[in-house]
Structure 1
Amino acid sequence: MKTGARVLATFFGIGLFPLIPGTAASAVAALSYGLVLHGLPGTLYALLVIVLFFAGAASSAVHAAELGRPDPGRIVIDEVCGQLIALAFLPAAWVPVAVAFALFRFFDIIKPWPIRRLERLPGGWGIMADDVGAGLAAAVLGRLILLWV
């Protein structure tokens, strides 16, 4: 179980990158969206994100406990999930994907209220929830920005 949790929590090792692993994971999620995931039917895409959230919460809790830290930087499944929320149902064109990517990274790094409060949830829930909040904030603001672009 620990090996599977480590693989998923680090999103197949991306979290082990020595520099900016969260940004790298977000970039892989954005690239995956642009190349493949944008073509999924809406219900299947939503199901994928929901499964990723719950699997991410479980694997993050196990891997964080294994490392003895509440939210280690190597856990990046939360960034993947949050980035996919920010991108949900956008066209796979360069500008919308770039806007969603930049806004998600902004909200994930800055963590304005109430996003920061979500980190207080216990275990894997807190690891995942703040990125879901950042993804939702990026999705809303991104769509407003894209109305004028």
Structure 2
Amino acid sequence: MSLRDRVISTSVESSADPVELLSLKNPVHFLALGFGSGLAPKAPGTFGTLAALPLVWLLIQPGLWFYLCLTLIACLAGAWICGHAARDMGVHDHAAIVWDEVAGMLLTMFAVPLNWSTLLVGFVLFRLLDILKPWPISYLDKHVHGGVGIMADDILAGILACVGMHLLLEMGWLT
């Protein structure tokens, strides 16, 4: 019996939380769970986004190209990371899988000067887009599946939030 079959049969046979099928000792699960932030009992997506904030600050220190490269890696690898965790849980896009929020927040803050106000506005803007899912984010959320589907709506939300951040900066409404 494959791991996927065992996970699905375990999920069906027991009423246990599928998160119990993951382990923070597994590096893929650790990343998928946003360094553990996805285990928050309420609003795991918000906690996953919060977990990204120190990462944003850390990754920008070596420079913008470094930040861009690691953000792209986070997005591309995220499809595999999220898909793997979802298969292990036997649940597509479980709320505890928050690597997509981490990647979305990294995208939101691309080339944005970092200070408390930009981090706060970026956080709020990304969360609003991720929660409300206006079109075309909602289209991706409903029509793209697997690990790519888990990531796609948050990647687009992050890109749109980044555009919004740069518009706010350009208009002088954010410094």
AA partner of residue 172 (structure 2): W
CA distance in 2, matches of 1:95, 1:14: 23
Shift of 1:116: 1.3
Q: Percent identity?
A: 38
The alignment status of 1:72 with 2:87, answered yes or no, reads: no
AA partner of residue 53 (structure 2): A
Moved more, 106-115 or 9-18: 9-18
TM-score (normalised: structure 1): 0.91
Q: Which has the higher contact order (CA 8 A, sep 6+)?
A: 1
1:1-149 equivalence runs, <5 A: 3-34=26-57, 36-119=58-141, 120-146=143-169, 147-149=171-173
CA contact (8 A) 1:104 1:138 kept: yes
Paired residue total: 148
CA distance in 2, matches of 1:127, 1:108: 12
CA contact (8 A) 1:30 1:87 kept: no
After the TM superposition, list the runs of 4 or more consecutive aligned residues in structure 1 that deviate by more than 4 angstroms.
Answer: none
Q: Which runs of 5+ in 2 are unaligned?
A: 1-21
CA contact (8 A) 2:104 2:126 kept: yes
Deviations 1:5-53 (A, max 9, x none): 211110221111112111111112123323x223232221111011111
CA distance in 1, matches of 2:55, 2:92: 28
Deviations 1:34-84 (A, max 9, x none): 3x2232322211110111112211111111112222110000000000001
TM-score (normalised: structure 2): 0.78
